[in-house]
Structure 1
Amino acid sequence: MTTSAHSPADTPPRPAPGFDHTWVVVPLYCEATVIGDVVRGLRERFRHVVCVDDGSGDDSARVAQDAGAVVVRHAVNLGQGAALQTGIAYALRDPLTRSVVTFDADGQHRVEDAVTMVQRLHDEDLDVVFGTRFLDGRTELDPLRRAVLRAAVVYTNRTTGLRLTDAHNGLRVFSRRGAATLRIRHNRMAHASEIVHQVGRSDLRWAEEPVHVLYTDYSRSKGQSLLNSVNILVETLLG
């Protein structure tokens, strides 16, 4: 693992207003087309953004750094779970960190939803806030994808003891205590179920917050297809 430009105690370039004691962790793999806009949008509200470049073969790391993110690099592709664990560990090196957000790199998450979730975490003294696509009608899902994701939720709830409506949403917020509890070992999509399992086995205080996930042609091409939803279900069942 290598790190570009800054340590957690340093002030990132072009400081922005927002939550000074929150780090946003963005797992990054070949997203040079959109990552600049994602980072710039985040830094309008969050001072600290760390992108974990997971062995990208394009210019993702440079684009992210130019947009104002700290960039940590994996020399080879290790998978999204490993990238999240690296980013969370990096954020916790900052002694002032109070909360950690996980946020996808493909532009499907909204900054305003992350802001709402961080505020709720602190206002209600929670340890985890899970984003959910299924508590309101804003996120458009075709019926088959919805059914596959629902099946994954049913299985995850039965095996963890939690009662979530969306177990595989990449937008989450953790308190420092909650983030320090995580030990993500699954490198592929099963890491989402692993996170839920670990929260379920702990005494962490959690809640769900409705979010609007934006499915675009680009995000579908990068893994938000129906096939990917089926893969999530298979990995959940085999995990």
Structure 2
Amino acid sequence: MARLYEDTDKYGYQADFPIVEAYNSALKDLVRKRFDESGLPWNTFVAGQAYDSITGEDIAKIEERLLAYGYRFAPSAISSAAERPDAYKDSGLDDDNFSFEHAEAPTATADAEGRELRGAGDNVVTRSTNVIGIARYVRTSDKVLQYLTAGVPAETIAIVDDSGGTLTAPILEKFTAVLCAGGTTRSHLAILTREYGIPCLMNARLSGINDGDKIEVESAAKAKGADDYAAGTDVPAFVWRLKT
């Protein structure tokens, strides 16, 4: 069996999500197979014949096989699940009672101050104090239009998807804080919130926070920097649900 550069690349890594790893592995196996069948030197194969020997139909068959095994893609855009419900996980956009339930979210019972730990994220900027507000999921263009028309409610701590920076750009500066379920402290949303002076946690892992809950975000926690990412160090800023 042919070996690819990635098979011996010391900087290579396994994908975080099973479906991504399965898809990439199937694609690499296809490349190996067609390379073996070609009998050509690698440079000649990738410079020309690879475009003819690996077709769109081949890629579609890989996807069909993964879906048949029960894998489903995680939607990165609202239209994905709406247009292809057979291929994408339900993102809960039509559920008024939706809440993120990330398996890796740290949780704990209420402390002496009545704060119930409900998640954590990567702090973009260390602030002087924590921020308290009302959790509101902002995950659709309809919600953004509603807030554009009627105004963003006071003390809104927006909870957004990984693509939430683009979605909420027209109303971003009106938020008290932002919790984004993806990205890093160098993502576009992180840069925007930093410029607007809005507390923000990226890569937020949350559980049991419902729309309308009063929450506290540890915006005074250490910001996660480049050295932390390079070392693989977790620098959690916590999110608590407060008793009302």
Settle same-fold status: TM greater than 0.5: no
Q: Give the alignment's TM-score, normalised by structure 1.
A: 0.24
Q: Give the alignment's TM-score, normalised by structure 2.
A: 0.24
Quick check: which has more Rg, 1 or 2?
2
